[in-house]
Amino acid sequence: MRQRLSIEDYTTGILAGDRIMLSQAITVTESRLPADKELAAAILKEILPHSGNAFRIGITGVPGVGKSTFIESFGNYLTSEGMRVAVLAVDPSSQKSKGSILGDKTRMEKLAHNPMAYIRPSANGLFLGGIAKSTREIMLLCEAAGYDIILIETVGVGQSETLVKSITDFFLLLMLAGAGDELQGIKKGIMEMADAIAINKADGDNVMAVNHAISAYQNALHLFPKSESGFLTKVLPCSALMENGMDIIWALIQEYEQVTRANGFFHQNRQKQNINWMHDQIREALDDLFYGDPKVKTKLQELEHSVKEGKELPGSAAQDLLDVFLTK
Amino acid sequence: MRQRLSIEDYTTGILAGDRIMLSQAITVTESRLPADKELAAAILKEILPHSGNAFRIGITGVPGVGKSTFIESFGNYLTSEGMRVAVLAVDPSSQKSKGSILGDKTRMEKLAHNPMAYIRPSANGLFLGGIAKSTREIMLLCEAAGYDIILIETVGVGQSETLVKSITDFFLLLMLAGAGDELQGIKKGIMEMADAIAINKADGDNVMAVNHAISAYQNALHLFPKSESGFLTKVLPCSALMENGMDIIWALIQEYEQVTRANGFFHQNRQKQNINWMHDQIREALDDLFYGDPKVKTKLQELEHSVKEGKELPGSAAQDLLDVFLTK
């Protein structure tokens, strides 16, 4: 049985950078118990003025690309430069058999024991909406606890990368040389979302292949539309295993931050993210009200098949469901 | 004052391929009057079993790429092959100063006078949601009237192309050679949405540049993830002005249809589109209820600024608004 502390205990602890208090507060925000929800809201309200100061980096790539090794290597590089680093994961698939990417901290052994770093595996048993909410909140808590860089890891195969893009300042895509087969797993649209692409495993015999991949991708990206940020997507080599290239990637991210702070995109993007977050939560709550309604559920089952097969108009089915919902 | 006919008059007329009846029925579906809404729903219900038989093609590209000329040329090619062609436009920007792409039918003079073709400019004064609904409905009406091919034109600069992608079977992106400047206007993600890219203005001195562009794009697209359809995005040359390349584009589209019908994607995609359409309409109606509520409106104005600036938690602002909404 977990013991609840007072709001003050949590907030004072978090603001003092107490990792145990931070972990406990995160557990509270992830809880579904009504008493915890109230407590979480109160803690978040208190720490809000102290949040927002970290640089938020999303990191994605298909399984096998070396994400855990990259984060281990990049995280240790950042702490060696004097920064405090928090690592979060958005991994809805962990509900299934695959297991959480960060569930096994031993995959980031050095970082897990680094006093300047904080690793939080993703909560189990949450749907994407729940993960979105809790990841955003955990990010704010980590910021209030004084972390300078938030790394959010996700697998680039589902909807989670759109979510991570919507809560971060910079989106890094990890890839391997020899494009083709390993791309089968990645979702369309992710490459165009990336602010930078790092081609991993640039070591040993693979260096030539990586250099070739870099020029191929760089050429390809020139053909694609420019990002709203005004920053041209760059492709860089790295070897997470050999801890090579971390400095160059960090220099690029710093350049991105300078450019986007100077042209106003950084601030506008954060503002837009805040507003979208509010509307997302409203939409989610309305969805819950609607789709959670027992009468709607029954009617929906009835209609879904005929709509799918084009035997019922989607518009009139929607109207029928709304009528059922609004009739009390 | 427009006179309303009976449901039977409209449906019999549409099913007989009567263009005047089709146009009048479309006007009914675009109307906001409650009596028209009821009538439109009844007409759509009647024609529904006769819809769905056309192949639906979305066409996008930035202004200047030659969309109108392309549709004129492609439409005439299709009718010369014995197909009946309906041309619709999704153009939310027409509300602003720009003017509707298809507003001026003289830009497609030959097609406008082609008895095998039907051109319907987009309605004015509708928001994207309204356009989505009416375009989908107009498409069904045109199908019931016996059109074999639906061409839906849009400008690839806003949200309208996502909408067009979500209601069509095939998405064609028109581009020009000399990639760079003309891409500034196109939105990120659109290139990855395309099932094919046609490089227009492959005529005269420009042929070399077009061939160069084709190999560049084709190489670039190889680096990108495969589409769910199982069909590899192809890049083709055309000259809408000289009416060249229309046969090759049509052959490609036919190949796409064969492949996706054989692998089941065509059917699954239509089913998914129908289901999404229903849920989109539900979401839109819930949004209207929520954001149309006067108490919500007042409170939202109050909260929006502080959420934007990160002074109020998006989550708690959402909760406040929901409380206001649910208190009767």
Is residue B227 a contact partner of residue B195, using CB atoms and an 8 Å limit?
A: yes
Mean pLDDT taken over chain B: 88
- Span B36-61, mean pLDDT? 94
pLDDT tens digits, one per residue of B200-222 = 999 999 999 999 989 988 888 88
Distances, alpha carbon B321 to alpha carbons A327, B168, B285, B286, B298, in Å: 22, 36, 17, 14, 10
Percent of chain B with pLDDT over 90: 64
Q: Where are the alpha helices (DSSP H) in B145-206?
A: 160-165, 190-193
Is residue A96 a contact partner of residue A160, using CB atoms and an 8 Å limit?
A: no
pLDDT at B98: 42
Is the minimum CB–CB distance between A155 and chain B shorter than 8 Å? no
pLDDT tens digits, one per residue of A128-179 = 667 777 899 999 999 999 999 999 998 766 778 888 999 999 999 999 987 5
The C-alpha atoms of residue A71 and residue A66 are separated, in whole angstroms, by 9
Residues 6+ apart with CB under 8 A from B243: B73, B76, B77
Of B36, B10, B31, give the one whose Cα is nearest residue B21: B10
Q: What is the ipTM of this complex?
A: 0.83
Identify which has the larger pLDDT, A159 or A185.
A159
Percent of chain B with pLDDT over 70: 90
Residues of A (65-104) whose Cβ lies below 8 Å from B: none
DSSP symbol at A196? E
Residues 6+ apart with CB under 8 A from A24: A2, A5, A10
Orientation angle between helical segments B265-291 and B128-144, nearest 10 degrees: 140
For residue B102, is pLDDT > 60? no
Is residue A186 a contact partner of residue A122, using CB atoms and an 8 Å limit?
A: no
Percent of chain A with pLDDT over 70: 90
In angstroms and rounded to an integer, the radius of gyration of the C-alpha atoms of chain A is 22
Q: Which helix (H) or strand (E) holds B236?
A: strand B234-237
Residue B259 token pair: 């492949």
Residues 6+ apart with CB under 8 A from A267: A261
Kindly provide the b/e burial profile for residues B257-289, where b requires at least 16 CB atoms within 10 angstroms of the residue's own CB.
Answer: eeebeeeebbeebbeebbbebbbbbbbbbbeee
The C-alpha atoms of residue B303 and residue A281 are separated, in whole angstroms, by 14
DSSP symbol at A239? B
Query: Could you say which of A180, A191, A314 has the minimum Cβ distance to residue B277?
Result: A314
Interface probe with B: pick from A278, A309, A323, A328, most Cβ of B within 10 Å: A278
For residue B92, is pLDDT > 70? no
H helices, E strands: number in chain A? 13, 7
Identify which has the larger pLDDT, A55 or B212.
A55
Identify which has the larger pLDDT, B91 or B104.
B91
| Residue entry with tokens 């560049």 | B216
Identify which has the larger pLDDT, A283 or A124.
A283
In this structure, are strands A117-120 and A196-200 parallel, antiparallel, or unpaired? unpaired
* Widest Cα–Cα separation across chain B: 69
DSSP symbol at B231? P
pLDDT at B89: 83
The C-alpha atoms of residue A195 and residue A88 are separated, in whole angstroms, by 19
For residue A99, is pLDDT > 70? no
pLDDT at B183: 57
Closest-CA distance of chain B to residue A103, Å: 27
Is the minimum CB–CB distance between A196 and chain B shorter than 8 Å? no
Residues of A (203-232) whose Cβ lies below 8 Å from B: 216-217, 219-228
Q: Sheet of B170-176: strands edge to edge?
A: B117-120, B85-90, B149-155, B55-61, B170-176, B196-200, B234-237
Strand partners, A217: none
Region for residue B143 given its phi and psi (left: phi exceeds 0; alpha: psi -120 to 50; beta: otherwise): alpha
Residues of B (133-152) whose Cβ lies below 8 Å from A: 133, 136-137
Is the minimum CB–CB distance between A186 and chain B shorter than 8 Å? yes
Residue A56, phi then psi, degrees to nearest 5:
-105, 120
The C-alpha atoms of residue B94 and residue B158 are separated, in whole angstroms, by 12
pLDDT at B99: 41
Residues 6+ apart with CB under 8 A from B68: B101, B102, B107, B108, B153
Region for residue B173 given its phi and psi (left: phi exceeds 0; alpha: psi -120 to 50; beta: otherwise): beta
| Residues in chain B within 8 Å Cβ distance of A269 | none
Percent of chain A with pLDDT over 90: 64
pLDDT class of B95 with cuts at 50, 70, 90: very low
Residue B146 token pair: 């016996």
Q: CB–CB of B308 and A216 under 8 A?
A: no
The C-alpha atoms of residue B319 and residue B171 are separated, in whole angstroms, by 40
Q: CB–CB of A318 and B281 under 8 A?
A: yes
pLDDT at A133: 79
Judge residue A208's burial from the number of C-beta atoms within 10 Å of its C-beta, 0-12 exposed, 13-18 middle, 19 or more buried: exposed
What structural domains does chain A harbor?
1-50 (1.20.5.170), 52-262 (3.40.50.300), 278-326 (no CATH)
Strand partners, A58: A152, A171
Residues of B (1-60) whose Cβ lies below 8 Å from A: 41, 44-45, 48-49, 51-52
CA B314 to chain centre: 33
Which range has the worst mean pLDDT, A44-53, A222-231, A310-319? Answer: A222-231
Closest-CA distance of chain B to residue A218, Å: 9
pLDDT at A96: 39
- Span B107-120, mean pLDDT? 90
Q: CB–CB of B318 and A270 under 8 A?
A: no
- Span B311-318, mean pLDDT? 90
pLDDT at A100: 47
Mean pLDDT taken over chain A: 88
Residues 6+ apart with CB under 8 A from A38: none
In angstroms and rounded to an integer, the radius of gyration of the C-alpha atoms of chain B is 22
pLDDT class of B106 with cuts at 50, 70, 90: low
